[in-house]
Amino acid sequence: MKLSYKILAIFCASLALTSCKDVLDKTDLTSTSGVLIYNDSTLTQMNLDYVYDQNLPTGIPTLGPGSPSVTSLTDESFGESKLLEGTLLVNEVGDFGTSLDVKNNYGKIRVINMFLSDTKAGNLPPYTKNKLRAQAQFFRAWRYFDLVRLYGGVPLVMTPLAAVGVEARDQAFLPRNSTTETFAAIVKDLDSTIASVPGRWSSSADWGRITKGAAAALKGRVLLTAASPQFNPNDEVSRWQTSYDANKQAFDVLTASGYGLHSSFDQLWFQEVNNPEAVFVTGYNTATGDQTRKNNGYDNATRPSYTGTGGGSNQPSWEMVKAFPMLDGKKPGESTKYAYTDQLFFKNRDPRFDKTIAYNGVTWPLNGSNSYKLWTYFVGGKTVEPKATNTGFYTRKAVNPTPAIGDVQFSGTDWIEIRFAEVLLNLAESAVGINKLDEAYTQLKAIRKRAGLEAGTDGLYGLKANMTRAELFSAILYERQIEFAFEGKRFYDLRRWKLIEKTLNGTRRTAVTINLKTTGVPADFANTRDNVSLEQAYTNYFTLEFKPLDTKYSINWKPEYYFFAIPQTAIDNNPKLIQNSTWGGAFDPLK
């Protein structure tokens, strides 16, 4: 309980709240009962806010402290990793947690369980108590979902464990629950959240708090994962039905509460309160003069490094660049209306292309300039950038064009973990699972219509007519690749579909170097280039050179990585833990 009291003391000292004084006046904090704290709604809310701060997603996820961004583990981007090299060792995916640390999953679960226990024991009105507890239950479900999709079933700790003494240690030696039991516990927590929180919060000050729709949407994501081949190798239709029911519930709850697709694919990131697409969101702000400012690290890390303090990360690979459809919705090389060439890769593409990929010569409103042009080409083997992009490209999605150079590290752009577009595609995929193919078409068309693709004479926005179940599954995964590029979804989509080997193994992701020709280029090109059309520049003045990004090895993802090993250090700490069967143990993560 000490953690809660430390938080409380900080709040009281800094805010001088009357309620703090009411509760704690003349009270010895070293012996104060948790119940006393949780009899006060203000103090309880403060402790819940700490739960939010610990557990809200902060951007593209990693596989634990020090691990690479999951975008670098796919064909989206590039990054060296033992996962892709095929040399992962048993202790190297450490999200399981091997010590009591508030930064790992079980440390965060402990704080949540303490909050739930003490709030339950307090004497707040039942409605208030249930609403506060329901939000914490959402985050407990969020933490267990993170664990189950990495490892399979894990020990379900649903109450605070004692922390001191031999007896407490022995009681903490819990065996792993089955994967089925773990999913059931997640769903139970989310159902409690759905029952007790509003569809929308009435005050704008509550923007970002968990809503009924956010809990339903996470439940839909969880059960879609449980229905996917990683957990459902026998394609049991009952699992797809359960997933469909959950995602239909999410769709219905959200639409009833006024959620839907934002009118703009790119601007949806820059509307905060009342953003119809922001279902589960981490709020950031640019407040000054107090301790409440919270900066979005994604923006600053993603924009080119020479534009202030940018980091230039999340650089698209050529494979990601080439994946986008043409303007009629057909894949490059399949469209009969729009011819595709690598030399003019940017021409007549899906409108989401220019809103996601920043490339040499593109007009990219940035640093407060609506006419800013990005140039990444090389002259005589030297880049015209102060620091060259490794792949030839940058990501522009969710990068705020407004801040001036030097201010971008203070971006207040919210991170949207679950968008309404995901709810539609989760529903579409689940519908395919139970052979409701027409419903899948409906959701896919809605996504493509918002993107700005041409409807075509058949009104299918480039989709093939009369697709089979297998073809529709593939079409939905392809749509997710484009719609959610650089949102941290691709790795988990490929993983739950067990498609990483098929997609990546034996390949080397590709970079593009754009070189200025040595002849036929105007001498003043560096001064006049902004006035030259892109098509003219690429046709007459540039050559494209393709190079492998993976220079040390060809990608070699191994099948046992679909369920990572429980770290041996965790097993050494708890003799009741059993290793996964794919790593030499007896635990079956499919049961």
pLDDT tens for 469-521 read 999 999 999 999 999 999 999 999 999 999 999 999 999 999 999 999 999 99
Percentage of the chain modeled with pLDDT above 90? 75
The reported pLDDT for the residue numbered 276 is 97
The reported pLDDT for the residue numbered 26 is 39
- Mapped onto helix, strand or coil, the DSSP state of residue 535 is helix
For 216-255, what is each residue's pLDDT tens digit? 999 999 999 999 999 999 999 999 999 999 999 999 999 9
Same domain, 353 and 435: no
pTM over 0.75: yes
Confidence bin at 20 (pLDDT 50/70/90): very low
The reported pLDDT for the residue numbered 98 is 63
For 92-147, what is each residue's pLDDT tens digit? 887 776 666 778 899 999 999 999 999 999 999 999 999 999 999 999 999 999 99
Whether the per-residue pLDDT at 22 is higher than 80: the answer is no
Q: How many CB atoms lie within 10 A of CB 402?
A: 13
* Residue 39 counted as domain residue: no
How many folded domains does the chain comprise?
2
In whole angstroms, give the CA distance from residue 536 to residue 517: 13
Q: Which two tokens stand for residue 2?
A: 């000490």
347: amino acid identity, one letter:
K
List the domain range (segments joined by +) for residue 203: 199-283+421-477
* Residue 381 counted as domain residue: yes
In whole angstroms, give the CA distance from residue 249 to residue 195: 12
Confidence bin at 366 (pLDDT 50/70/90): confident
Mean pLDDT confidence for 79-95: 88
Strand partners, 404: none
Q: Which two tokens stand for residue 3?
A: 């953690």
State whether the Cα torsion 279-53-72-64 is positive or negative. Answer: negative
In whole angstroms, give the CA distance from residue 234 to residue 21: 60
Looking at per-residue pLDDT, the higher value among 459 and 32 belongs to 459
Same domain, 515 and 408: yes
The reported pLDDT for the residue numbered 563 is 97
CATH code assigned at 448? 1.25.40.900
Mean pLDDT confidence for 367-389: 92
Same domain, 396 and 425: no
Whether the per-residue pLDDT at 13 is higher than 50: the answer is no
Which among 222, 179, 206, 185 has a CA at the least distance from the CA of 418?
222
The reported pLDDT for the residue numbered 17 is 37
The reported pLDDT for the residue numbered 14 is 36
For 386-403, what is each residue's pLDDT tens digit? 889 999 999 999 998 887
In whole angstroms, give the CA distance from residue 544 to residue 122: 67
Same domain, 275 and 327: no
Tracing tokens 């009952």 back to the chain, one arrives at: 238
Same domain, 397 and 342: yes
Percentage of the chain modeled with pLDDT above 70? 89
In whole angstroms, give the CA distance from residue 384 to residue 367: 19
* Residue 75 counted as domain residue: no
The reported pLDDT for the residue numbered 31 is 41
For 267-277, what is each residue's pLDDT tens digit? 999 998 889 99
Phi–psi pair at 25, nearest 5 degrees = -55, 125
The reported pLDDT for the residue numbered 322 is 98
* Residue 326 counted as domain residue: yes
Phi–psi pair at 439, nearest 5 degrees = -65, -35
Confidence bin at 12 (pLDDT 50/70/90): very low
* Residue 85 counted as domain residue: no
Same domain, 430 and 330: no
The reported pLDDT for the residue numbered 62 is 87
* Residue 14 counted as domain residue: no
For 257-267, what is each residue's pLDDT tens digit? 999 999 999 99
Which among 476, 479, 428, 432 has a CA at the least distance from the CA of 453?
479
* Residue 553 counted as domain residue: no
Whether the per-residue pLDDT at 163 is higher than 70: the answer is no
In whole angstroms, give the CA distance from residue 564 to residue 570: 13
Strand partners, 373: 363
Same domain, 445 and 516: no
Question: H or E element: which one contains 358?
Answer: strand 357-358
The reported pLDDT for the residue numbered 16 is 35
Q: Which residue, of 435, 454, 477, is where some domain finishes?
A: 477
Same domain, 308 and 404: yes
In whole angstroms, give the CA distance from residue 569 to residue 90: 9
Same domain, 406 and 542: yes
The distance from CA 169 to its chain's CA centroid, rounded to whole angstroms, is 35
Q: Which two tokens stand for residue 78?
A: 């590039």
Same domain, 470 and 395: no
Same domain, 436 and 405: no
Same domain, 429 and 522: no
Q: How many CB atoms lie within 10 A of CB 542?
A: 18
* Residue 238 counted as domain residue: yes
